[in-house]
Structure 1
Amino acid sequence: MSAKRVIMAAVESLKMLGGTRIPAFGLGTWQSKPGEVGAAVEVALKAGYRHLDCAHIYQNEAEIGEALQKCFNEGVCKRENLFVTSKLWAGDMEEQYVLPAIQLTLKNLQLDYLDLYLIHSPFAFRHNLDMSNLQEVDKLGYDESRIAGIWKGMEDVLGKGLTRAIGISNLTITKTESLLKTAKIVPAVNQVECHPYFQQKKLREYCDTKGILIEAYAPLGSPARRGVEATDPVVMDDPTIKEIASKKGATPAQVR
Structure 2
Amino acid sequence: MAIPEIILSSGNAKAMPVLGLGLGTLDPTPEFLTSMIKAVLEAIELGYRMFDTASFYRTEEALGEAISQAISCGLIKSRDELFITSKIWLNDNYGDRVLPALQKSLRDMKLDYVDQYLIHFPMSMKAGSNPFRLNPEDFVPMDIKSVWTAMEECQTLGLAKSIGVSNFTCKKIADILAFAKIPPAINQVEMNPAWQQGKLREYCQANGIKIAAYSPLGAAGAFWGTKDVLESKVLMGIAESKGKSVAQIALRWAYEQGVIIVTKPHNKERLKQNLEIFEWGLSEEESMKIAALPQRRAGLGHMFISDTGPFKSVEDIWDGEL
TM-score (norm 1): 0.90
State the one-letter code of the partner of 1:116.
Q
Aligned pairs, how many?
242
**Pair 1:134–1:25, CA change in 2 (3 A):** closer
User: Which structure 2 residues correspond to residues 98-247 of structure 1 after superposition, within 5 A?
Assistant: 98-131=98-131, 133-140=133-140, 142-143=141-142, 146-228=143-225, 233-247=227-241
User: Which structure 2 residues correspond to residues 12-161 of structure 1 after superposition, within 5 A?
Assistant: 12-20=4-12, 21-31=15-25, 33-77=32-76, 78-131=78-131, 133-140=133-140, 142-143=141-142, 146-161=143-158
Structure 1 residue 132: Cα displacement: 5.1
CA distance in 2, matches of 1:28, 1:236: 19
Post-superposition, which runs of at least 4 consecutive aligned residues in structure 1 deviate over 4 A? none
State the one-letter code of the partner of 2:181.
K
Q: Which residue of 2 aligns with 1:3?
A: none
Which structure 2 residue ranges, 5 or more long, are not aligned?
253-322
**Pair 1:196–1:149, CA change in 2 (3 A):** same
**Pair 1:127–1:47, CA change in 2 (3 A):** farther
State the one-letter code of the partner of 2:107.
K
TM-score (norm 2): 0.72
Checking the alignment, whether the CA contact within 8 Å between 2:91 and 2:131 is kept in structure 1 is: no
Q: Secondary structure at the match of 2:34?
A: coil
CA distance in 2, matches of 1:252, 1:86: 29
CA distance in 1, matches of 2:56, 2:132: 12
Q: Which residue of 1 aligns with 2:284?
A: none
Structure 1 residue 243: Cα displacement: 2.2
CA distance in 2, matches of 1:234, 1:161: 41
CA distance in 2, matches of 1:86, 1:220: 21
Structure 1 residue 69: Cα displacement: 0.2
Q: Which residue of 1 aligns with 2:243?
A: 249
Residues 118-169 of structure 1, C-alpha deviation per residue, up to 9 Å, x if partnerless? Answer: 01011111234224554333111x34xx111100000001010101100011
CA distance in 1, matches of 2:36, 2:113: 21
**Structure with more relative contact order (C-alpha pairs < 8 Å, separation 6 or more):** 2
**Pair 1:181–1:104, CA change in 2 (3 A):** same
Q: CA RMSD in A?
A: 1.5
State the one-letter code of the partner of 1:186.
P
Structure 1 residue 61: Cα displacement: 1.0
State the one-letter code of the partner of 1:80.
D
State the one-letter code of the partner of 1:12.
P
**Pair 1:150–1:201, CA change in 2 (3 A):** same
Which structure 1 residue ranges, 5 or more long, are not aligned?
1-5
Checking the alignment, whether the CA contact within 8 Å between 2:56 and 2:131 is kept in structure 1 is: no
CA distance in 1, matches of 2:174, 2:198: 17
